[in-house]
Amino acid sequence: MAVGLSQLPTLYPVRGIRLAVGSAGIKYKDRPDLVVIEIAPGSQAAAVFTRNRFCAAPVTVARKHLAQTSPRALLINAGNANAGTGDLGLAHALTCCDALAEQLGCKGEEVLPFSTGVIGECLPVKPFVDALPACISRLSASGWADAAHGIMTTDTVAKGVSREFELEGKPATITGIVKGAGMICPDMATMLAFITTDAAVTRNVLQECINQSVMHSFNRITVDGDTSTNDSFVLLATGQGQAPLIDSVDSVEFVQLAQVVAQVTTELAQAIVRDAEGATKFITINVTGGVSEAECLEVAYTIAHSPLVKTAFFASDPNWGRILAAIGRAKIPELDVRSVSIYLDEVKIVSQGAVDVEYTEPRGQAVMDRSEINLKVDLGMGPAAACIWTSDLSHDYVQINANYRS
């Protein structure tokens, strides 16, 4: 059960965007597994992709197509990653792009493909292509909720965010959806995310906006330390709203847009961790007092990736020695353990590298019993800080992944 997530919020239509879902039966026989997002002509797109060197065929194709032209459609399937499939996988991705392009009356390179699911299995192209006509017949500006459900794999809830805001006094809309629950560790972003706005933005400025937002949102989450082969995040700007064109990162409008995009990506990133496979805890790790942000992140991820720490959180066990040990093995050559302080929410458990004189086990237990916990580490070395979000490691996580292909 997702931690602190309820039903999907209202997702506002974005002018210039239509969506539809279909059922190709690629893996799931009783639910939609195919999503088409149609994009109005004249829109701009920016994206970031996985840095996993075994990147999936659709990632390779999407990168290539995006470098050639602005997209007219996104084509997404769930249940099969089309990764580790070599030249045949590339051919299958291109075939699917061409099939959708023919239906929409555009060129194959104007379609960006995205896949999620099992790695190493060939994409069944025929049912995929056969499902497209019925899918696009249902294209609608109000199809966001269906699309959020259609891209799910091991997610337990659909995840989306929507905002209505102003750019220099003119109304604008932004809506985005994301999927992801396991194989989550950042190396650009980590999941499939699609965010759209009716703002008018030049491509270079849009790319800067996505680069800024990802660094402190999707690049600050981890569930299990595994970076996917298929991670992709696309930001689309249709230009069909009332606000003037944003063509400079120095403009007031860019700052306004960037703030909203950052809010949306942060909320979506946190939703992934809240819905992490088997998660019972949502854990914020704040590391302060570092010499550099990189050092703070090193400590934060060492804690977040420790199976001993994660299982202690699952058990609600205030075994703070596991946290201390993780900090001590982080690759921080100049760390002075006598300067380190550790807090669980409001409870100080370690001071100057040893148990705090006022700490008691019942106080620690009271925090560990909570479903949302803020772990703070002060390294006492400098002015830098960093924040990441992670989850616990439960029986259900092991069960889900042990049975993933069955």
- Residue positions annotated with a catalytic role: 190
Tokens 């797109």 locate to: 45
DSSP state of 236: E
DSSP of 192-212, one letter per residue?
A: EEEEEE-S-B-HHHHHHHHHH
The values of phi and psi at residue 177, to 5°, are -130, 160
What angle do the packed helices 203-215 and 252-274 form, to 10 degrees?
Answer: 40
Residue 393 tokens, joined: 């490691």
Residues forming a β-bridge with 34: 22, 77
Which of these, 29, 33, 61, 227, lies nearest to 147 by C-alpha position? 33
3-state helix, strand, coil in the chain (%, to 5): 35, 25, 40
CB atoms within 10 A of CB 68: 11
| Three-state DSSP state, 178 | strand
Residues forming a β-bridge with 196: 175, 236
Tokens 């604008």 locate to: 172
What angle do the packed helices 320-329 and 293-304 form, to 10 degrees?
Answer: 130
Which of these, 190, 392, 377, lies nearest to 296 by C-alpha position? 377
Which of these, 163, 152, 196, lies nearest to 28 by C-alpha position? 152
Which of these, 353, 373, 398, lies nearest to 304 by C-alpha position? 373
Give the C-alpha separation, 359 to 150, whole Å: 48
Give the C-alpha separation, 248 to 255, whole Å: 10
Provide the strand spans (E) within 241-346: 282-290, 341-344
Give the C-alpha separation, 366 to 362, whole Å: 6
Distance (Å) of CA 66 to CA 60, 79, 112, 236, 240 = 10, 24, 7, 12, 21
| Three-state DSSP state, 175 | strand
Which of these, 91, 86, 76, 87, lies nearest to 24 by C-alpha position? 76
